[in-house]
Amino acid sequence: MNRRLLLVLLSSVSTAVLFLFLIVQFPGESGSFGLKLMGLRIKQGNNTFSALHRKLLHGTTMKEPNRLPGEKCTKADIVINQGATRPLPTGIPTYTVEIMNICVTGCDISGIHLNCGWFSSARPINPKTFRRLRYNDCLVNDGKPLINGGTVSFQYANTFLYPLSVSRVICS
């Protein structure tokens, strides 16, 4: 639990530092920091989010993915974040992965499969959380639904970070 809290705090602090940097770099008219309309594009894996910021204290707004008529969700509704964490005592680097359901239509998403190459880990991962089925096919949450707003997280240890991206999902 402490590691998760630390990860959330570090993520919040780094986000705050980034926004402060952007506000200093792009001041509004008459020197009023943060009041100028700024467009920010965030690219993570295959997903790109657009956020508009009018003031420092306003939250980000995400652009809804393009949907076909009648489509409840898409693979763009699953966001993957991963970053380096403290290495194992043996010196092998470790990484924390968070897989989130950000579906704005309130949908639960199951059957989440990721492109993952020859994913492997020196640190055991609960196979109900994440497992490689075959080359470039990993299953999240044992195929069970990830509720709207839900997150699945795990840590792995390897000499390099594996690029992970969503290959397919099932809308529940």
**pTM reported for the whole predicted model:** 0.60
pLDDT of residue 72: 79
Across the strands, what pairs with 80?
99
Domain count of the fold of the chain: 1
Question: Using 50, 70 and 90 to split pLDDT, how confident is the model at 73?
Answer: confident
Q: What is the pLDDT of residues 104-123, one digit of tens each?
A: 888 999 999 999 999 999 99
Task: Please name the amino acid found at residue 147.
Answer: I
Q: Is residue 139 part of a domain?
A: yes
- Between 6-20, 65-79, 106-120, 128-142, the lowest mean confidence (pLDDT) is in 6-20
Residue with tokens 């492997």: 120
pLDDT of residue 12: 55
Output the six-digit token pair for 101: 């359901």
Q: Is residue 49 part of a domain?
A: no
pLDDT of residue 79: 96
Give CA–CA dist 28/103, Å, rounded: 33
Q: Is residue 154 part of a domain?
A: yes
Q: Is residue 113 part of a domain?
A: yes
Quick check: 26 pLDDT over 60? no
Q: Is residue 19 part of a domain?
A: no
Q: Is residue 127 part of a domain?
A: yes
Cβ-contact 95, 155 below 8 angstroms = yes
Give CA–CA dist 34/53, Å, rounded: 8
Task: Please name the amino acid found at residue 77.
Answer: D
Q: Is residue 5 part of a domain?
A: no
Domain assignment of residue 90, given as a range: 76-169
pLDDT of residue 105: 82
Rounded mean pLDDT of 141-170?
96
96: CATH: 2.60.40
With vertex at residue 139, the alpha carbon angle to CA 134 and CA 145, rounded to the nearest 5 degrees, is 160
Residue with tokens 């055991």: 124
Q: What is the pLDDT of residues 80-101, one digit of tens each?
A: 999 999 999 999 999 999 999 9
Give CA–CA dist 38/28, Å, rounded: 9
Strand duo 47-53 + 78-85: pairing: unpaired
pLDDT of residue 4: 58
Q: Is residue 13 part of a domain?
A: no
pLDDT of residue 153: 97
Rounded mean pLDDT of 8-22?
50
Quick check: 144 pLDDT over 80? yes
Give CA–CA dist 150/153, Å, rounded: 10
pLDDT of residue 70: 52
- The DSSP-derived string for 116-165 is -TT---SS---TTTEEEEETTEEEEGGG--B-TT-EEEEEEE-SSPPP-E
Give CA–CA dist 128/38, Å, rounded: 42
pLDDT of residue 31: 40
